[in-house]
Amino acid sequence: MVIALGFVLAPQAALALDPPWGQEKRLRDRMVLESTRVCTDGKGHYTVIVPNSPETDGQLFYGDGKAFVEVPAVSTYSETQADFFEPRFFNPKANDNFRGVDYRVISRLVLSEDGKTCTLSCGDRSLPQQTLVADKVKELVRKSTFAPSPMKFQPYALLRDDKGTYYLVERGIGPDNKSFRIFTGQRGQVKQQKMLNVVTDSQGEIFSTQGGDLRLVVDREEPSFWVVKSKRQKLRAVPVGENLPFIYNELGVYTGARLGTPCDDV
């Protein structure tokens, strides 16, 4: 099993909260605020770590010191480490199936035992960072705005024909899990198709695009196909979990996109 998350490119409206994450009551708790840590690369990039505690669930935020977005957790954050999904950076030495998660596409931020330094690992790259002192942490938290995660879609299916044309289907995350997007084209040149209708049941999915005569059929038991004016083009299924770096780095859907993680500016 591999987690497969995607990112929508449109920014979310910032939430002017003070304290910022989740509920104000939780952040006003002195114990929670004092346990919050902030790491920075000294170049205007900051990561805020709120460890798991009885007062609040652990959370991770990344931003420029004024505006932050939430980074979804892979597991519960501790006081010294936060793991997050980062498909653009691949670590071939990591465990490919630890409790159902492919850690080759998981990056992390780790605080030193003395709390004075941090190490940001993006794939197999490690970058040293510094922590802010407590007073600066409180100042940064209270003056900043925080927005929900920009992750709104995840790769759902990837298919390819015998001429090298790819068909990527994305599915919405959370409340938007009934929303789909389709991208088609050669590697590095895929374009989003305008969706008209989606039929989904236990046998598979049919995605109708603009014009009414283009259909992508994802069948759970038989080969999938792309229909153009009643002519079927058989497609080969490409495993999503095994091709996340390809999808995010080479296919073209996310070229130049900021994914809202601490590795955005590496």
Q: How far apart are CA 165 and CA 190, in angstroms?
A: 9
Over residues 28-82, the pLDDT tens digits come to 456 667 788 999 999 999 999 987 766 566 789 999 999 999 998 887 677 788 9
Phi, psi of 209 (to 5 degrees): -110, 180
Q: What CATH number does residue 45 fall under?
A: 2.40.128
pLDDT-based confidence at residue 14 (cuts at 50, 70, 90): very low
Question: Is residue 32 a contact partner of residue 54, using CB atoms and an 8 Å limit?
Answer: no
Question: Is residue 190 a contact partner of residue 254, using CB atoms and an 8 Å limit?
Answer: no
Buried b (16+ CB within 10 A) or exposed e, 148-158: ebbbbbbbbbb
User: 204 or 41, which is more confident?
Assistant: 41
Domain that holds residue 205: 153-251
Same domain, residue pair 141 and 157: no
Same domain, residue pair 63 and 122: yes
Same domain, residue pair 96 and 160: no
Question: Is residue 130 a contact partner of residue 40, using CB atoms and an 8 Å limit?
Answer: yes
pLDDT of residue 201: 80
Q: Measuring CA to CA, which residue among 145, 153, 173, 152 is closest to residue 69?
A: 145
Same domain, residue pair 42 and 133: yes
Q: How far apart are CA 154 and CA 237, in angstroms?
A: 17
Domain count, the chain: 2
The tokens for 266 are 């590496």
Over residues 110-161, the pLDDT tens digits come to 999 888 999 999 999 999 999 999 999 989 988 999 898 888 999 999 999 9
